[in-house]
Amino acid sequence: MAALGDASPRAAEQGSPWFWNFLKAELSPYPGRGWVVARMTVSATIVMLITMTFQIPGGFQGAIFTLIISRESPVETLRSGFRIAMAFLIGTLYIVLSVTVVIGNPLTHFLWVAISLFASFFLLRIIADYGTAAPLGFAILGALSVWDNHLVNVNSRLENTLWLAGSVAIAAAVTIVVEYIFRLAHPSTDFAEGIEIRMRTIENVLRSAATQHPLDSEWEKNLGIYATVGTSRLRRLILRSGYSTHYKAQIGAAVALVGRLIDIAANFQFALSQQAETIDPGDRQRCLRLADEVHSLCIALTQHQLPQQFERPSPDAPAQIPFLKTMEDTAALIPKVFSGTESINAFVPAPLDEEESLPIFVTDAFSNPAHLQFAMRGTLAAMVCYITYTALDWPQLSTSLLTCFITALSTIGSSRQKQVLRLSGAFLGGFVFGIGSQIFVLPYLDTITGFTLLFAGVTAISAWISTASARLSYLGVQLALTFYLINLQEFTIQTSLSIARDRVFGVLLGLLSMGVFFDLLWVRNAAGEMQAVFAANLEMFAELAEQLLQQDQIKAIRRIRQLRDQINAGFQAVTAQSDAVLLEVGPSRQQMLQVRKNIQRWQPAIRTLLQVQIAAVQYLSRTPLSNLPLPIAEAGLEFERDFAQVMRAMASEVSEKPVQAVPNIRLSAENFQREIRKHYQDLGMPVAPQASDLAGLAESLASVLSPLYEDIHATFAAPSKTVEVQRELLHDPAKS
């Protein structure tokens, strides 16, 4: 997504042309999108029909969760639906058991609301599985408004509370059945299609350059779409898949590199369009060779095969076409992601592959004060909303509580991003589709058939938007939620404009309250968060590298496993914050965008480096260096020390700490390889497979780390405003 990130700040100054181009790119069709939208629309419509037919309370929650439950495979959809249903059941049990203590006493009831809100926000932050924490909060907050309704008796309130969980369980069952049926009709997975179309686009860009023919309009359109959309949906599919932790990390790094290739290909194609002279024959041959390599990578990634390593051109042979060398280097990193893996489908188990059950809480759940701060901010914002609509005796504004909950994020930028999209979704779902349909459509409908067509149409629009990139997808969910709040709360065709008005006003109240508390309390902007997390990732990586020098192998393996998981989580956090930076304003905005560009350039290489390093750890855990002849073992240990030192120096560069002399990691790898060759030549024997494998891993590590360190060192050594802004962010993340 770097291409969009680089261009959008400048283009934004031109006003509406950029905005419409952005919308066009986000909303353009891509392979597989229609199937996803159809699944969501069918599932939500079936849930609506069940809700209206059997008059099930809380039907809006069931309908909205059909847009959330779907996963990469039917099996994972089944697991997701089960977890969400169980989360709602737990939340409902909490409400039912706790409300019996406070019912009838206004003071204890008020305290119960405050405690429930705090628990919802705190659990959202500390539960390791976000897909479980969010439904749990939905269950609790949705039930609060039910028990504030004193116009109905206790039995009716209890029944409505139970049906909140029941409606979501029905939605889960419907979504799972629809998913299985659609998978039979369309066996290809969304993930495989997403990878294939991106790689084929890159291949066609290169072949058009090699033949000096104009790029076909279809591929040019795809290039623009995927440079804008990025890989956020593919990353979500990976996280929601049933793959092993090891494979998720590997394929996640590969997807990041594919996204980087798309960005570079967009710049490559633009440079070609501006180049008047004929392409050098040598460059044309390089384009053709790279296109063949991309084609083989596409087959390997989509068919779960091991990508073959290929050699990059010599650094002494620069390309005349801009960005060609960068594309070659990036494509060559993809096979390195799978270094040390004999087969993706038949990977030999190793200590780091031991699957651990997902912990219930994050590791620092009860020690990190940021979690308490997050919960307090969310609780204060929600309590202001609660007190406001209670004092005004305006219970229809209770939608403000859900607004506070689902827009709660840890930084200004990311919460502002959600708030902007939530506000836009509320406007479209509430005023345009909600009130608009009440004025122009619903008065003329007298059958469920007509309402079903309207409902399916709005749901399809919402689902189409929700399958855009992370910058826009949230808008689709909010559009659907607001529309459902208006039309699925009562079991009749809703024509009262006051209902739509009240529920949209509730959304606005929640946005206002969240904007105040999340912008003023314990502020940390998205740019500062992104920079801090990136620096912390490098520090952890340096510690991971140093674990290979420890004597206690069991303890080192355990720590490496922890660091690996923390670094992978850090990658996701950096990616999320990089999108949020686009919505931050201030005098340093341009510099912040440059910081974002730098980090986006480095992160794919670091993800690759992590996978190669993990492969080396896996190999060394099974066949330690001590098993090799002494000269080779000593050279190998020296390489590991140098690697750890370079990683520590790179972390220090970003953290603006003193950096001592840094060894040449390429020379260290070459020395290791030389010792291996010399030893076996002296013995008159061929190089042993174990020694050859270790030499190959060392070369892979050096080939990734050396240019990465040089790039980071050059960036922070340059006397630029960008570097000063980066240093300012590291010292004071609250500044913008």
Q: Find out whether 597 and 722 touch, Cβ atoms under 8 Å.
A: no
- CA–CA distance from 656 to each of 509, 730, 733 (Å)? 42, 8, 14
Residue 361 phi/psi, 5° resolution?
A: -115, 155
pLDDT digits (tens, 9 = 90+) for 81-94: 888 889 999 999 99
209 and 102 housed in the same domain: no
Residue 127 phi/psi, 5° resolution?
A: -75, 130
394 and 347 housed in the same domain: no
To the nearest 10°, report the CA torsion of 470, 472, 475, 477. -40
Q: Is 206 part of any domain?
A: yes
Residue 390 has pLDDT above 90, yes or no: yes
Q: Is 228 part of any domain?
A: yes
- CA–CA distance from 403 to each of 137, 415, 435, 505 (Å)? 12, 11, 19, 11
536 and 476 housed in the same domain: no
Q: Is 627 part of any domain?
A: yes
pLDDT digits (tens, 9 = 90+) for 318-330: 677 878 888 888 8
At 509 the pLDDT is 92
Distance CA 530, CA 540 (A): 15
DSSP states of 493-529: ----HHHHHHHHHHHHHHHHHHHHHHHHSS---HHHH
Q: Is 297 part of any domain?
A: yes
660 phi-psi bin (left φ>0, alpha ψ -120 to 50, beta other)? beta
Among residues 520, 540, 569, which one ends one of the domains?
520
Q: What is the 3-state secondary structure (H, E, C) of 677-731?
A: HHHHHHHCCCCCHHHHHHHHHHHHHHHHHHHHHHHHHHHHHCCCHHHHHHHHHHH
Residue 76 has pLDDT above 80, yes or no: no
Which is more confidently placed, 483 or 326? Answer: 483
At 669 the pLDDT is 92
183 and 196 housed in the same domain: no
Residue 735's pLDDT band, with cuts at 50, 70 and 90, is: very low
Distance CA 339, CA 675 (A): 22
Which is more confidently placed, 322 or 163? Answer: 163
pLDDT digits (tens, 9 = 90+) for 698-708: 888 898 899 99
Q: Is 361 part of any domain?
A: no
At 77 the pLDDT is 77
Which is more confidently placed, 387 or 651? Answer: 387
At 346 the pLDDT is 34
Distance CA 517, CA 381 (A): 6
251 and 149 housed in the same domain: no
Residue 102's pLDDT band, with cuts at 50, 70 and 90, is: confident
Residue 274 has pLDDT above 90, yes or no: no
Across the range 542-562, mean pLDDT stands at: 81
At 342 the pLDDT is 44
418 and 515 housed in the same domain: yes
Exposed/middle/buried for 107, CB within 10 Å: 0-12, 13-18, 19+?
A: exposed
Question: Which range scores top for mean pLDDT: 315-324, 404-413, 453-462, 713-722?
Answer: 453-462
Q: Return the DSSP state at 353.
A: G
55 and 177 housed in the same domain: yes
Among residues 292, 327, 353, which one ends one of the domains?
353
461 and 491 housed in the same domain: yes
Q: Find out whether 310 and 332 touch, Cβ atoms under 8 Å.
A: yes
At 6 the pLDDT is 40
Which is more confidently placed, 45 or 485? Answer: 45
Q: Is 363 part of any domain?
A: no
Across the range 5-29, mean pLDDT stands at: 59
568 and 700 housed in the same domain: yes
Strand partners, 127: 361
% of the chain beyond a pLDDT of 90: 18
At 387 the pLDDT is 95
SS3 361: strand
Tally the residues of the chain.
736
Q: Pick from 474, 383, 408: which is nearest to 116 by CA?
A: 383
Tokens found for residue 47: 């849930």
Residue ranges making up the domain that contains 423: 31-187+368-520
Q: Is 345 part of any domain?
A: yes
Q: Is 481 part of any domain?
A: yes
Q: Pick from 49, 50, 169: which is nearest to 454 by CA?
A: 49
178 and 233 housed in the same domain: no
Among residues 294, 327, 353, which one ends one of the domains?
353
Question: Which range scores top for mean pLDDT: 180-189, 393-402, 464-473?
Answer: 393-402
The total domain count for the chain is 3
Q: Return the DSSP state at 435.
A: I
To the nearest 10°, report the CA torsion of 352, 354, 355, 359. -70
Q: Find out whether 505 and 431 touch, Cβ atoms under 8 Å.
A: no
Distance CA 711, CA 600 (A): 13
At 733 the pLDDT is 42
Distance CA 27, CA 225 (A): 9
Q: Return the DSSP state at 363.
A: T
38 and 125 housed in the same domain: yes
113 and 231 housed in the same domain: no
pLDDT digits (tens, 9 = 90+) for 308-321: 877 666 655 667 78
Residue 538 has pLDDT above 80, yes or no: yes
Q: Find out whether 375 and 524 touch, Cβ atoms under 8 Å.
A: no
Residue 345 has pLDDT above 50, yes or no: no
Distance CA 10, CA 228 (A): 15
Across the range 140-149, mean pLDDT stands at: 88
At 206 the pLDDT is 93
Tokens 């261009």 identify what position?
A: 7
